[in-house]
């Protein structure tokens, strides 16, 4: 029998069907995924959630599991047209953002932050509903520089979350700016590391983990809001102390950083993944529901998850047993398991029928 080669693969490059070669543990040494597990989209989402950056898989499984990149968009003609407009503005905003962040990193002491936030607002408010904006965010494909795309997404998600959390207009704009700038430190990390496909050494990962401190160091004397500087420094801290760079806990983490942390993980888990390969947003809601209470401040997480789930009310879903129907009722005790009215006039209560799950949302 031939020995299977084991390689280290970045979690963002994992493809369903690969086989885990070594047990995967969280930073707190909890077993997350045992060796020999076949990778699914929801396992990838779980690992992203826990901030796992790379795992070891069997190399021989790689080639034959390359998934067709062609994505089904599940969009009507009108939605496609709206999306085209959105995408154009999105790309202009990305250019503007990268110009500004770079000038700030090089020589500028300040930038026009109002203008940056206005650009994001245009994107957010041109969308007809909060559901639509979250949907658009999911459909945006990777740009040359992943950091800008991710930053803009987190800014838009922050803006939506601010509305859900009942924040003032001033706070919403601040939080939007926090999203735009939270990963500025990543622009100081070698592109060879950030863009390197597949294998990353432990040292390279340690380099990436320096981005909050590097970003803060560069920004601390610039004329930008203090709250933004704190978010740059603290957005990888977690309420249970499992984050970095300091291992701060619940009340030591600024509210803006705590909210941006949720948006950050949400974007990482959903971008380019939800709606592909059979992963539904309810997988993401389930992971946040089960695991998030420890890592994220419930004062923010609970209302965000409630609102997120509510955006899918009346949406059409497919179930793992092949049935199709509409979400008619959200179960408050378990948001990821709503009640479905099926096309053949039955009610499926996912709270009771635990062997069935939502596989697709339209
Ligand atoms: Fe970050
Ligand atoms: Fe981020």
- Residue pLDDT, tens place only, 283-341: 899 999 998 989 999 999 999 999 999 999 999 999 999 999 999 999 999 999 999 99
Q: Helices marked H in the chain — which ranges?
A: 41-49, 77-106, 113-126, 130-139, 146-164, 169-181, 191-195, 202-208, 211-219, 226-234, 255-270, 281-295, 298-310
Q: Which residues pair with 58 in a beta bridge?
A: 6
82 and 28 within one domain: no
Q: Cα 283 from chain centroid? A: 13
Q: Which ligand is nearest to the CA of 265?
A: 2
145 and 37 within one domain: no
What distance in angstroms lies between residue 35's CA and the mean position of ligand 1's atoms?
A: 28
222 and 101 within one domain: yes
97 and 29 within one domain: no
81 and 49 within one domain: no
191 and 44 within one domain: no
89 and 39 within one domain: no
322 and 265 within one domain: no
- Please count the structural domains in the chain: 3
Closest CA relative to residue 319, chosen from 291, 284, 354: 354
In a domain, 112, yes or no: yes
207 and 88 within one domain: yes
Tokens 């619940």, residue located: 250
118 and 31 within one domain: no
Residues spanned by the domain of 24: 6-65
What distance in angstroms lies between residue 140's CA and the mean position of ligand 1's atoms?
A: 19
Last residue in a domain, options 272, 303, 333? 272
231 and 341 within one domain: no
Q: Model confidence at 68, in pLDDT bands (50, 70, 90)? A: very low
The more confident residue out of 157 and 278 is 157
Q: Which ligand is nearest to the CA of 264?
A: 2
What distance in angstroms lies between residue 82's CA and the mean position of ligand 1's atoms?
A: 30
- Residue pLDDT, tens place only, 70-110: 444 566 788 788 888 888 889 999 999 999 999 999 988 99
- Residue pLDDT, tens place only, 204-263: 888 989 999 999 999 999 999 999 999 999 999 999 999 999 999 999 999 999 999 999
61 and 83 within one domain: no
What distance in angstroms lies between residue 241's CA and the mean position of ligand 2's atoms?
A: 18
What distance in angstroms lies between residue 233's CA and the mean position of ligand 1's atoms?
A: 9
């Amino acid at each position: 029998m031939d020995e299977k080669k084991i390689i280290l693969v970045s979690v963002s490059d994992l493809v369903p069907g690969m086989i885990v070669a070594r047990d995967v543990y969280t930073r707190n040494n909890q077993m997350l995924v045992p060796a020999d597990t076949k990778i699914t989209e929801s396992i990838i989402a779980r690992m992203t959630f826990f901030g796992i950056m790379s795992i070891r898989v069997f190399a021989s499984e790689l080639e034959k599991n390359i998934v067709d990149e062609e994505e089904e968009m599940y969009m009507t003609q009108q939605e496609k047209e709206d999306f085209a407009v959105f995408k154009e503005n999105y790309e202009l905003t990305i250019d503007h953002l990268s110009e500004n962040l770079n000038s700030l990193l090089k020589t500028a002491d300040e930038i026009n932050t109002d203008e940056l936030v206005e650009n994001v607002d245009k994107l957010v408010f041109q969308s007809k509903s909060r559901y639509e904006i979250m949907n658009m965010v999911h459909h945006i494909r990777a740009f040359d520089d992943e950091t800008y795309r991710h930053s803009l997404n987190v800014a838009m998600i922050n803006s939506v979350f601010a509305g859900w959390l009942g924040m003032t207009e001033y706070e919403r704009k601040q939080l939007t700016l926090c999203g735009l700038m939270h990963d500025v430190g990543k622009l100081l990390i070698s592109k060879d590391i950030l863009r390197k496909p597949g294998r990353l050494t432990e040292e390279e990962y340690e380099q990436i983990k320096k981005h909050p401190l590097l970003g803060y160091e560069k920004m601390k004397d610039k004329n930008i809001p203090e709250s933004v500087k704190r978010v740059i420094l603290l957005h990888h801290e977690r309420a249970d102390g499992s984050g970095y760079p300091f291992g701060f806990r619940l009340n030591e983490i600024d509210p803006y950083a705590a909210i941006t942390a949720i948006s950050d993980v949400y974007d990482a888990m959903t971008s380019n993944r939800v709606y592909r390969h059979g992963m539904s947003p309810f997988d993401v809601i389930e992971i946040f529901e089960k695991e998030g209470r420890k890592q994220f401040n419930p004062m923010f997480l609970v209302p965000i998850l409630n609102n997120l789930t509510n955006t899918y009310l009346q949406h059409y879903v497919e179930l793992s047993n092949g049935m199709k129907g509409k979400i008619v009722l959200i179960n408050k005790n378990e948001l990821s398991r709503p009640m479905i009215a099926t096309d053949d006039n039955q009610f499926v209560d996912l709270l009771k029928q635990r062997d069935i799950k939502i596989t697709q949302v339209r």
